[in-house]
Amino acid sequence: MLTRVSAPPERSSPTLAVPASTYVRAFKRALDLIVASVLLFALSPILVFTAVGIRVALGRGPIVLRQRRIGRGGEVFHLYKFRTMTADRRVAQVPFDGPDRRQHHKSDDDPRHRPFGRMLRRCSIDELPQLVNVINGSMSLVGPRPELADVASANGLAGHPRHLVRPGLTGPYQVSDLRIAGDLRDGLSLDLAYIRKLSLRRDLVLLLRTAVALVKRTGR
Protein backbone atom coordinates (compact mmCIF):
# COMPACT_ATOMS: atom_id res chain seq x y z
CA MET A 1 0.00 0.00 0.00
CA LEU A 2 1.42 3.41 -0.97
CA THR A 3 0.50 6.96 -0.15
CA ARG A 4 1.13 9.19 -3.15
CA VAL A 5 1.44 12.91 -3.63
CA SER A 6 2.39 14.96 -6.66
CA ALA A 7 4.94 17.74 -6.34
CA PRO A 8 3.76 21.25 -7.24
CA PRO A 9 4.08 21.94 -11.01
CA GLU A 10 6.84 24.52 -10.62
CA ARG A 11 9.28 21.87 -9.39
CA SER A 12 8.47 19.27 -12.04
CA SER A 13 9.25 16.43 -9.60
CA PRO A 14 7.83 12.94 -10.14
CA THR A 15 5.03 11.56 -8.00
CA LEU A 16 6.41 10.55 -4.62
CA ALA A 17 5.45 7.21 -3.12
CA VAL A 18 5.73 6.72 0.64
CA PRO A 19 5.86 3.09 1.84
CA ALA A 20 2.92 2.44 4.19
CA SER A 21 4.52 -0.46 6.03
CA THR A 22 3.69 -1.41 9.62
CA TYR A 23 6.82 0.42 10.70
CA VAL A 24 5.79 3.65 8.95
CA ARG A 25 2.16 3.46 10.09
CA ALA A 26 2.66 2.55 13.74
CA PHE A 27 6.06 1.39 14.98
CA LYS A 28 8.02 4.49 13.93
CA ARG A 29 5.88 6.69 16.18
CA ALA A 30 6.14 4.18 19.04
CA LEU A 31 9.93 4.13 18.65
CA ASP A 32 9.98 7.94 18.71
CA LEU A 33 8.04 8.09 21.97
CA ILE A 34 10.07 5.42 23.75
CA VAL A 35 13.54 6.60 22.71
CA ALA A 36 12.82 10.33 23.14
CA SER A 37 11.33 9.82 26.60
CA VAL A 38 14.30 7.72 27.75
CA LEU A 39 16.80 10.23 26.34
CA LEU A 40 15.01 13.19 27.89
CA PHE A 41 15.17 11.54 31.31
CA ALA A 42 18.76 10.30 30.94
CA LEU A 43 20.05 13.65 29.67
CA SER A 44 18.19 15.80 32.21
CA PRO A 45 21.41 16.69 34.13
CA ILE A 46 22.92 18.01 30.89
CA LEU A 47 19.76 19.98 30.16
CA VAL A 48 19.88 21.62 33.60
CA PHE A 49 23.61 22.39 33.30
CA THR A 50 23.05 23.88 29.84
CA ALA A 51 20.20 26.08 31.03
CA VAL A 52 22.33 27.46 33.89
CA GLY A 53 25.30 27.93 31.54
CA ILE A 54 23.23 29.91 29.06
CA ARG A 55 22.04 32.25 31.77
CA VAL A 56 25.57 32.79 33.10
CA ALA A 57 27.52 32.89 29.81
CA LEU A 58 25.01 34.46 27.44
CA GLY A 59 23.18 36.80 29.78
CA ARG A 60 19.59 37.89 29.74
CA GLY A 61 17.18 36.51 27.20
CA PRO A 62 15.30 33.25 26.64
CA ILE A 63 17.07 30.01 27.52
CA VAL A 64 15.03 28.01 25.03
CA LEU A 65 14.09 29.52 21.67
CA ARG A 66 10.88 28.77 19.78
CA GLN A 67 11.22 28.86 16.00
CA ARG A 68 8.44 28.54 13.44
CA ARG A 69 9.23 25.53 11.26
CA ILE A 70 7.37 23.58 8.59
CA GLY A 71 6.15 20.18 9.74
CA ARG A 72 4.22 17.27 8.29
CA GLY A 73 1.57 18.30 5.81
CA GLY A 74 3.01 21.82 5.59
CA GLU A 75 1.74 22.69 9.07
CA VAL A 76 3.76 25.25 11.00
CA PHE A 77 4.96 24.19 14.45
CA HIS A 78 7.27 25.62 17.10
CA LEU A 79 10.68 23.94 17.26
CA TYR A 80 12.60 24.20 20.55
CA LYS A 81 16.33 24.93 20.72
CA PHE A 82 18.72 26.16 23.37
CA ARG A 83 19.89 29.71 22.69
CA THR A 84 23.57 29.81 21.65
CA MET A 85 24.09 33.55 21.07
CA THR A 86 23.87 36.71 23.09
CA ALA A 87 20.43 38.26 22.87
CA ASP A 88 21.82 41.82 23.00
CA ARG A 89 20.81 43.39 19.68
CA ARG A 90 23.18 46.28 20.31
CA VAL A 91 26.20 44.02 19.79
CA ALA A 92 26.00 44.35 15.99
CA GLN A 93 23.69 45.50 13.26
CA VAL A 94 22.94 42.07 11.83
CA PRO A 95 19.54 40.61 10.94
CA PHE A 96 18.00 38.36 13.59
CA ASP A 97 15.10 37.15 11.48
CA GLY A 98 14.16 36.66 7.86
CA PRO A 99 15.15 34.36 4.99
CA ASP A 100 18.85 35.31 5.14
CA ARG A 101 19.20 34.58 8.87
CA ARG A 102 21.19 31.36 8.32
CA GLN A 103 23.90 33.19 6.36
CA HIS A 104 24.73 35.25 9.43
CA HIS A 105 24.33 33.00 12.44
CA LYS A 106 26.72 30.37 11.05
CA SER A 107 29.44 32.91 10.33
CA ASP A 108 32.47 32.94 12.64
CA ASP A 109 32.48 36.71 12.28
CA ASP A 110 29.04 37.10 13.84
CA PRO A 111 29.77 39.04 17.08
CA ARG A 112 26.80 37.44 18.83
CA HIS A 113 28.74 34.19 19.21
CA ARG A 114 30.22 33.26 22.58
CA PRO A 115 32.53 30.30 23.43
CA PHE A 116 29.84 28.56 25.48
CA GLY A 117 27.35 28.87 22.65
CA ARG A 118 29.88 27.59 20.13
CA MET A 119 30.44 24.53 22.32
CA LEU A 120 26.71 23.84 22.45
CA ARG A 121 26.47 24.01 18.66
CA ARG A 122 29.62 21.94 18.06
CA CYS A 123 28.30 19.13 20.27
CA SER A 124 24.68 19.60 19.05
CA ILE A 125 23.54 20.09 22.65
CA ASP A 126 21.47 23.04 21.46
CA GLU A 127 19.25 20.54 19.62
CA LEU A 128 18.31 18.50 22.70
CA PRO A 129 15.06 20.41 23.48
CA GLN A 130 13.74 18.98 20.21
CA LEU A 131 13.21 15.74 22.10
CA VAL A 132 10.09 17.51 23.40
CA ASN A 133 9.03 18.06 19.79
CA VAL A 134 9.47 14.35 19.16
CA ILE A 135 7.33 13.46 22.18
CA ASN A 136 4.55 15.90 21.26
CA GLY A 137 4.43 14.50 17.72
CA SER A 138 5.55 17.54 15.74
CA MET A 139 8.86 15.80 14.91
CA SER A 140 10.33 12.32 14.59
CA LEU A 141 13.73 11.02 15.62
CA VAL A 142 14.61 10.59 11.93
CA GLY A 143 13.25 12.56 8.98
CA PRO A 144 13.85 15.54 6.70
CA ARG A 145 15.39 18.62 8.26
CA PRO A 146 12.71 20.95 9.69
CA GLU A 147 13.09 24.23 7.79
CA LEU A 148 12.29 27.73 9.01
CA ALA A 149 8.80 28.68 7.88
CA ASP A 150 9.91 31.98 6.34
CA VAL A 151 12.82 30.34 4.49
CA ALA A 152 10.57 27.62 3.03
CA SER A 153 7.98 30.23 2.05
CA ALA A 154 10.59 32.47 0.43
CA ASN A 155 11.81 29.52 -1.66
CA GLY A 156 8.30 28.40 -2.61
CA LEU A 157 8.79 25.05 -0.89
CA ALA A 158 6.29 25.13 1.98
CA GLY A 159 4.14 22.54 0.17
CA HIS A 160 6.99 20.35 -1.06
CA PRO A 161 6.57 16.53 -0.86
CA ARG A 162 9.39 16.42 1.72
CA HIS A 163 6.68 17.43 4.18
CA LEU A 164 4.74 14.18 3.70
CA VAL A 165 6.44 12.89 6.84
CA ARG A 166 7.40 14.42 10.17
CA PRO A 167 10.70 16.33 10.11
CA GLY A 168 13.51 14.68 12.04
CA LEU A 169 15.86 15.43 14.88
CA THR A 170 18.36 13.81 12.55
CA GLY A 171 18.20 12.53 8.99
CA PRO A 172 20.10 12.12 5.71
CA TYR A 173 20.77 15.84 5.37
CA GLN A 174 21.84 16.28 8.98
CA VAL A 175 24.56 13.62 8.73
CA SER A 176 25.83 14.81 5.33
CA ASP A 177 28.47 17.43 4.52
CA LEU A 178 25.64 19.74 3.43
CA ARG A 179 24.81 20.33 7.10
CA ILE A 180 27.69 22.79 7.29
CA ALA A 181 27.61 24.62 3.97
CA GLY A 182 24.38 23.69 2.23
CA ASP A 183 20.95 25.26 2.12
CA LEU A 184 17.39 23.98 1.83
CA ARG A 185 17.44 23.21 -1.90
CA ASP A 186 20.72 21.29 -1.63
CA GLY A 187 19.07 18.65 0.53
CA LEU A 188 15.80 18.12 -1.37
CA SER A 189 17.03 15.06 -3.26
CA LEU A 190 18.26 13.50 -0.01
CA ASP A 191 14.88 14.10 1.63
CA LEU A 192 12.92 12.57 -1.25
CA ALA A 193 15.21 9.54 -1.44
CA TYR A 194 14.79 9.01 2.30
CA ILE A 195 10.99 9.13 2.08
CA ARG A 196 10.88 6.68 -0.85
CA LYS A 197 12.99 4.13 1.04
CA LEU A 198 11.69 4.83 4.55
CA SER A 199 12.23 1.75 6.71
CA LEU A 200 13.32 0.67 10.18
CA ARG A 201 16.72 -0.40 8.88
CA ARG A 202 17.31 2.96 7.20
CA ASP A 203 16.31 4.87 10.34
CA LEU A 204 18.59 2.76 12.53
CA VAL A 205 21.52 3.34 10.15
CA LEU A 206 20.93 7.11 10.24
CA LEU A 207 20.70 7.08 14.05
CA LEU A 208 24.00 5.17 14.21
CA ARG A 209 25.66 7.61 11.79
CA THR A 210 24.40 10.47 13.93
CA ALA A 211 25.89 8.95 17.08
CA VAL A 212 29.25 8.49 15.33
CA ALA A 213 29.19 12.08 14.03
CA LEU A 214 28.42 13.42 17.52
CA VAL A 215 31.32 11.49 19.04
CA LYS A 216 33.73 12.75 16.36
CA ARG A 217 32.69 16.39 16.83
CA THR A 218 32.92 16.14 20.62
CA GLY A 219 36.33 14.55 20.39
CA ARG A 220 37.94 17.37 18.40
Give, rounded to a whole angstrom, the gap between the first and last alpha carbons of the chain: 46
DSSP summary character for residue 112: T
Q: Which pTM was predicted? A: 0.82
Q: What is the pLDDT of residue 24?
A: 92
Say whether pLDDT at 181 is over 80: no
Kindly give the residue spans of alpha helices, DSSP state H, lying in 59-187.
101-105, 115-122, 130-136, 149-154, 178-181
91/112 Cα distance (integer angstroms): 7
Q: Are β-strands 2-5 and 140-142 bridged in parallel, bridged antiparallel, or unpaired?
A: unpaired
Query: Which carries the bigger pLDDT value, residue 85 or residue 8?
Result: 85
Mean pLDDT of the 22-46 span: 95
Mean pLDDT of the 6-24 span: 63
Q: What is the pLDDT of residue 168?
A: 97
Query: Which carries the bigger pLDDT value, residue 110 or residue 189?
Result: 189
CA angle 101, 130, 165 (to 5 degrees): 85
Q: How high is the mean pLDDT of the chain? A: 83
Q: What is the pLDDT of residue 186?
A: 74
Q: What is the pLDDT of residue 155?
A: 85
213/194 Cα distance (integer angstroms): 19
Q: What is the pLDDT of residue 7?
A: 39
Closest to 193 in 3D by CA, of 157, 162, 158, 164: 162
Write the pLDDT tens digit of every residue in 118-150.
999 988 999 999 999 999 999 999 999 999 999
Write the pLDDT tens digit of every residue in 74-86.
999 999 999 998 8
Give the Cβ contact number of residue 1 at 10 Å. Answer: 8
